[in-house]
Amino acid sequence: MKRIKAMLHGPMGALLQKELLETWRDRRALWMAICFSLLFPVMLAGGSIFMLKKHTEESTRLALLGADFAPLLADRLRSDSLQVDALEEGEPQTLLAGDYDLVLEVSEGFAGDYRNFEAPPLYLYIDSSASSSGRAERHLQERLGALQQLVVQQRVTARGLAPQLLAPWRLEVRDVSTPSRRGAMLLAAVPGLLILTLFVASLATSVDTSAGERERLSLETLLMQPLPGWQVVVAKTLAVASIGWVGALLAIAALVSLMPLMPLAELGIQQATTTAGVVTMGLLLLPLALLVAVVQILLALRSQSFKDAQTQLSILQVAPVMLLMVLDVSRVELEGFHWQLVPLVGQQQWLKTLLIGEPVPVLSLLAGSCVTLLLVAVAVRIGAGALRRENLLSAT
Amino acid sequence: MIEVQSISKHFGAQQVLRDLTFHAADGQITALLGANGAGKTSCLRIITGLLRADSGTVRVGKIDVAAQPLAVRRQLGVVGDREGLYERLTVKEYLTLFARMQGLTGERLRQSLDEVRGALELEDLWLRRTRGFSQGERMKVSLARALVHRPQHLILDEPTRGLDVLAARLLRRTLLRLRNEGTAILFSSHVMSEVLELSDRVLVMAEGRVVGAGGPQALMREAHCDNLEDAFVSLAYGSQREQVEGEPA
């Protein structure tokens, strides 16, 4: 501890102070970090409101043509989620282009055929190009199916048969998901987006402090100071990581602040994130922020120019999200201890767990964070070597 | 003293320094005079430890650069071919931080800052960020950074490039004062008037080696010329011509 304190008061401290001042005075980088950090929580809040709107608008509007030929049908079909309008006439295509999701036409001889057990036809008109047609059709089919079963039961009962003969079992669907699990469904994208924030928030700074300094030749001035290369890499990493980490903290704060405004309860989701969980989220992202920063600096130092560095890092920021998506899609079981040691995967899993209000296993959190920090140390060593590369200097 | 002993350097197939040997004594201003591509910047970068020589040794104040690069950098003040400023720092912050990187603290730090501020007339710039500074102002700040830790050895790469008359005068005055205080100064240039006015000793470089060395007057005598430019052309390109002519057909 004494050694670290002495180091921070000496040349290394001056170097770190220089890097921090440069980083936090870069308005462009700061603006970019703030914008992205606030953008996704706001989008998430907007998304949940949109979902609720969609949820409440899920009632189907049905136009029933020829309702007079089957006087009870409209009443039997009508429910909270199925609005039935009995119309005397109308063109199905025009009605579907208007306010109706479905048009059901009753044939003229329906009543007579029904009485004679001749299975009269019902014509269902749908517009399969409309986004709501599939859901509306399923909805009506369910209602008609239930009504059909009721009629069959009445008919067999009238003939002295037990209706159970036609129904060997009864299926009842019971949803066992907890509100916190349903919350996880909605908030599934949050861990990936928080990790992405680390990459995006620190991108401009990492390019500026490495490729930018090289292009402006101030890196050369820095390398002529009596400081070992690893200290230069560490100072730059800490400065870059600070902006990435603060960006992620800002995103977490915005997310937590916006949660009360989101209609989570209306969607059947209970907000389960605790204060301790929020603090843990911030802390567990710190080692990852360092790793992201040092990897970005390494790549930018290897690039040919400032623009080249920007391009390479833009690709890099998509990589982790792609990786996490691939792992999600491929249904790999990521909850095992060994997966939690893998940087990005571990952090994603812990964030997921914390978002649904469940505790993170301390051992895996510590072990995974240590592995991430170990990789940071390796990357710093590689970075110190990169600073000795002669082609790092401009015109030699 | 800066001692360069038989250094050679290749960049790929291109040899930029060939068995280069010279020294820059304390209390003297030594000029490295050469055309573009003669190897001046590479030589200075090897002395600062930014580049490694393929062979040979460099000593700064008797310390081997290859063995102890950090110790050497504490004894060196360097003004590179660009100023290396940080535009988001004020002059005061910039100089304070670089002085602290050189290990200065407390009263010594404060005294050094006061000294360079006065000597290089930085009072008006002191609390301004360096963004938008003129070339002359940038050079003054860069020189102040190189001098803030009072180095025994000063290296400058084409220091007067782009400077206006007043800034160039201030630079010359500063270098002469430092020379008189015993600092070993080594600078590269291809501006004859500057070399003539400032240097006690001139090293003419061509194709990565020293082809002439001595005081400006002595070089002119050696080349049988009455001005330094003719002497430089004769020494630098004359030797090249002789070399080419000496090769078998």
* Each residue's pLDDT tens digit, A253-278: 998 888 777 776 666 666 667 788 88
**What is the pLDDT confidence band of residue A293, given thresholds at 50, 70 and 90?**
very high
The pLDDT assigned to B245 comes to 44
Condensed to tens digits (0 to 9), the pLDDT of residues B86-97 reads 999 999 999 999
Contact B84, A220 (CB under 8 A): yes
Contacts of A384 (CB under 8 A, 6+ apart): A228, A229, A230, A232, A233
Q: Which of B43, B48, B50, B108 to mutate to test the interface with A (most CBs of A within 10 A)?
A: B50
What is the least distance, in Å, from the CA of B79 to any CA of chain A?
Answer: 8
Distance CA A234, CA A253 (A): 27
pTM of the model: 0.78
Distance CA B66, CA B70 (A): 10
What single string gives the DSSP state of each residue in A210-254? IIIHHHHTHHHHHHTSS--HHHHHHHHHHHHHHHHHHHHHHHHHH
The pLDDT assigned to B121 comes to 87
pLDDT at A179 exceeding the cut of 70: no
Please state the rounded mean pLDDT for residues A174-181.
60
Spell out the domains of chain B, with CATH numbers in brackets: 2-246 (3.40.50.300)
Task: Return the residue of B nearest to A387 by Cα.
Answer: B50
Contact A193, A286 (CB under 8 A): no
What is the least distance, in Å, from the CA of B5 to any CA of chain A?
Answer: 20
- Lowest mean pLDDT across A62-71, A259-268, A298-307, A366-375: A259-268
In CATH, what number does A58-174 get? 3.40.1710
| Both structure tokens of B150 | 């009072």
Tell me the chain B residues in contact with residue A217 when contact means C-beta distances shorter than 8 Å.
Answer: 80-82, 84
CB contact under 8 A, A218 and B11: no
pLDDT at B125 exceeding the cut of 50: yes
Collapse the DSSP code of A3 into the 3-class scheme (helix H, G, I; strand E, B; otherwise coil) and give the result: helix
Please state the rounded mean pLDDT for residues B168-184.
90
**What is the pLDDT confidence band of residue A298, given thresholds at 50, 70 and 90?**
very high
Of B11, B50, B101, the CB nearest to A227: B101
Q: What is the 3-state secondary structure (H, E, C) of A339-386?
A: HHCCCCHHHHHHHHHHHCCCCCCHHHHHHHHHHHHHHHHHHHHHHHHH
Question: What's the Cα-to-Cα distance from B93 to each of A71, A91, A125, B126, rounded to whole Å?
Answer: 89, 80, 76, 9
DSSP state of A67: G
The pLDDT assigned to B111 comes to 93
The pLDDT assigned to A226 comes to 93
More confident residue, A162 or B40: B40
Question: For chain B, what percentages of helix, strand and coil (3-state, to nearest 5) are there?
Answer: 45, 25, 30
Please state the rounded mean pLDDT for residues A184-197.
79
**What is the pLDDT confidence band of residue A229, given thresholds at 50, 70 and 90?**
very high
DSSP state of B54: S
Of B49, B86, B105, the CB nearest to A22: B86
> Which residues in chain B (114-153) have CB-CB distances under 8 A to chain A?
145
The pLDDT assigned to A35 comes to 92
What H or E segment, with its residue span, contains residue B14? strand B14-24
Condensed to tens digits (0 to 9), the pLDDT of residues A134-176 reads 878 888 888 888 888 888 888 888 888 887 777 777 667 666 6
More confident residue, A357 or A243: A243
Residue position matching structure tokens 């998506």: A325
Condensed to tens digits (0 to 9), the pLDDT of residues A4-48 reads 777 777 889 999 999 999 999 999 889 999 998 998 888 878 877
CB contact under 8 A, A18 and B86: yes
- For residue B47, give the nearest of B154, B143, B206 by alpha carbon: B154
pLDDT at B71 exceeding the cut of 90: yes
Q: For chain A, which residues make up each domain, given as ranges?
A: 2-53+180-392, 58-174
Q: What is the mean pLDDT of chain B?
A: 88
Of B71, B73, B80, the CB nearest to A225: B73
**What is the pLDDT confidence band of residue A109, given thresholds at 50, 70 and 90?**
confident
Of A9, A21, A221, the CB nearest to B93: A21
Distance CA A88, CA A63 (A): 10
The pLDDT assigned to A52 comes to 65
